[in-house]
Every structure is written in C-alpha cells, then in structure tokens.
Amino acid sequence: MARVAIVTGGTRGIGEAICLALKEQGRTVIANYGGNDAAAKAFTARTGIPSFRWDVGDHEACIHNCNDLAAEFGPIDIVVNNAGITRDGVLHKMSFDDWNEVMRINLGGCFNMAKATFPGMRERGWGRIVNIGSINGQAGQYGQVNYAAAKSGIHGFTKALAQEGAKFGVTVNAIAPGYIDTDMVAAVPAPVLEKIVAKIPVGRLGHADEIARGVAFFTSEEGGFATGSTMSINGGQHMY
C-alpha cells in the first residue's frame, strides 16, 4: 500500500513541485491549501492530486483534517510543511499582526501538523517530516524580521524533533531554499531581483523542482540515516 503524504501549501509553486515529485515516488499525495480555491481546483484538475483547504496556523483544524484524511486515505506517514506567507516591512513599521500572522502560519503550522501526525508515525515505527525553511532564516534579510525569525525557528524545531523521532524510525529534516522562480519571487521589483541574482554564484534563480528533488530524497525509504539535517539549495548564495 502506498504511503500517504500531505504537502501543506501544496497547490502552487514549490508545493506543487513537491506534490508531483512525491506522486512520482509512488506516494498517495494530498495537497493542503490556505485560501485560493481557483488555484487549488486547477491544480487538482491538472495533476489528479486531491486538495483540501484549511489554515495550518489553526491547531484544531490541523488535528481535525489530518484525522479525517487518515480515515479516508490511510495513515499519514509523510508530512511536508511548505505553507508560508510574507508580511514584509522594517520593524518600526511592522504591526503586531504582521509579526504574529507570519509566526502563526510559518512556524506554528509546523508544530500543528507535527502534533497531528507525529504520534502515529512514532507508534508505527516509520515517518518522514520535511520542513521548508529559507536562506533568509539562515542569513537574515532586511525588512523580514518576522519571516526570518519564523524560518530560523523552523531549523531549530527540526533539530529538536529529529532527536525525539530518531529511535522510532521517524526522520525530521529541513530544506532551506534560496531564491526560486515562484510567484512570490516574481512579485519582487525587477531592479531588486537583478541585484539578488547578481549575488547568486551560479547566476540564476532556482527552480521549484530542484527543491522537490531534495524533499524526495529526505522522504525516501533510503533516506533513513539523514535526520536533523538542513539541506541548503540556494545556488551558493549562502554557505556555512
């Protein structure tokens, strides 16, 4: 029986590429999304992957929906926490809501989805959790104290939970993408984007499927010795 995978923020951009990579891997894939019904409907029509709407920042919604999906599709063995938002601005202009919403969804979503699925993985003796961090959680970024803090928190969350899961066959890893050619990056003004690309040693933006291949490795049967790791896929922009 195919293992069941949930990808949050799975109907567009990096999330869609991850869904397709896991489907190719033979998984039963379910995409979560937060609000764009039209995009989700088009995604499902295009890929055949079912999509379900809930707010990953809502703890009870994560518990409820994961329980329902497990009852319908089978135990959830793979979770990719990809959902994320931005509310950029320098600190002195950033509202508490701008801070709180990014933390609630980007970091809180990882906790909520883990609470909904990690106990079952632990009991069954197999599981894969992959959290999508960011180069900006590693290096920081002007005007993103909320986003950088949330993504940096993801990397610490990953290392701590990996220690809890290791002896139970549950791996927890993270990927820190650099600048990828998604809608989020496309919204960056052209002059700013040119400056960003100029700082990437390989000389281009990344592609969503390059992130997806990293996820496919971490979620594979063969990836069981990798846990607590952060894979940086950023074209050499940040090395440490």
* Domain that residue 111 falls in: 4-230
Number of domains in the chain: 1
pLDDT level of residue 115 (50, 70, 90 thresholds): very high
Between CA 34 and CA 164 the distance in angstroms is 29
Mean pLDDT of 149-175: 98
Q: How far is CA 165 from CA 124, 150, 155, 215, in A?
A: 12, 22, 15, 18
Does the residue 195 lie in any domain? Answer: yes
| 147 belongs to the catalytic site | yes
The answer on pLDDT for 65 being more than 80 is yes
pLDDT of residue 217: 98
pLDDT level of residue 189 (50, 70, 90 thresholds): confident
The answer on pLDDT for 184 being more than 80 is no
Go through 195-217 and write b for each residue having 16 or more CB atoms within 10 A of its CB, e for each that does not: eeeeebeeeebbebeebbebbbb
Q: What is the mean pLDDT of the chain?
A: 96
Mean pLDDT of 88-100: 96
What is the CA angle 230-231-237, rounded to 5? 115
pLDDT level of residue 187 (50, 70, 90 thresholds): confident
pLDDT level of residue 32 (50, 70, 90 thresholds): very high
45 vs 86, residue with greater confidence: 45
| Range list of H helices, 48-95 | 59-73
90 vs 240, residue with greater confidence: 90
3-state secondary structure of 111: helix
Does the residue 78 lie in any domain? Answer: yes
Does the residue 238 lie in any domain? Answer: no
pLDDT level of residue 188 (50, 70, 90 thresholds): confident
The answer on pLDDT for 146 being more than 90 is yes
Q: Is the distance from CB of 201 to CB of 235 less than 8 angstroms?
A: yes
Does the residue 239 lie in any domain? Answer: no
Query: What is this structure's pTM?
Result: 0.95
Query: Among residues 33, 147, 179, 240, which one is catalytic?
Result: 147
Mean pLDDT of 67-86: 97
Mean pLDDT of 108-125: 98
- Domain with 139 in it: what CATH number? 3.40.50.720
Single-letter amino acid, residue 118? F
Does the residue 47 lie in any domain? Answer: yes
